[in-house]
C-alpha cells in the first residue's frame, strides 16, 4: 500500500467529464484505489463516490493504492489530478 498527497491542478476542478475520466483511469488497474479528503474516503472506481467529494482546483487530496500494480496506478492518477 502506498499513499501520496496531491493538489488538484484541473482548472475547473473535478466536474462530470474529468470525474468520468478519473474513474476510467482507476478502473484500468487491478489495485484498489481510494481518495481521502479530510474525513471522507471514497473508492476512485466509483463515479458517485468521487462526485460526492466536490473537489475544486487547489484542493488537497490523498491517493491510496494497494495491489500488484499500485505504483503505476498512483503515478497515473496523480498525473491526471495534477493536470499534467
Residue 14's pLDDT is what?
82
User: What domains are there in the chain, each with its CATH number?
Assistant: 2-81 (3.30.1340.10)
What pLDDT score was predicted for residue 15?
85
Grid coordinates given for 36 = 481521502
Mapped onto helix, strand or coil, the DSSP state of residue 24 is helix
Beta partners for residue 62, in sequence order = 5, 36
pLDDT of residue 11: 83
Closest CA relative to residue 84, chosen from 2, 5, 4, 7: 7
- pTM, two decimals, is 0.91
Residue 33, classed as helix, strand or coil, is: strand
As to burial, measured by CB atoms within 10 angstroms (0-12 exposed, 13-18 middle, 19+ buried), residue 51 is middle
Local confidence pLDDT in tens for the 84 residues of the chain = 999 999 999 888 788 889 999 999 999 999 999 999 988 999 999 999 999 999 999 999 999 999 999 999 999 999 999 887
Q: What are the backbone dihedrals phi and psi of residue 4, each rounded to the nearest 5 degrees, phi first?
A: -155, 135
Amino acid at each position: 500500500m502506498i499513499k501520496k498527497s496531491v493538489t488538484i491542478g484541473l482548472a475547473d476542478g473535478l466536474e462530470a467529464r474529468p470525474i468520468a475520466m478519473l474513474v476510467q483511469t482507476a478502473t484500468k488497474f487491478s489495485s484498489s484505489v481510494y481518495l481521502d479528503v479530510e474525513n471522507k474516503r471514497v473508492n476512485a472506481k466509483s463515479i458517485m463516490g468521487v462526485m460526492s467529494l466536490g473537489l475544486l482546483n487547489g484542493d488537497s487530496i490523498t491517493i491510496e493504492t494497494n495491489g500488484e500494480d499500485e505504483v503505476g496506478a498512483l503515478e497515473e492518477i496523480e498525473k491526471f489530478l495534477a493536470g499534467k
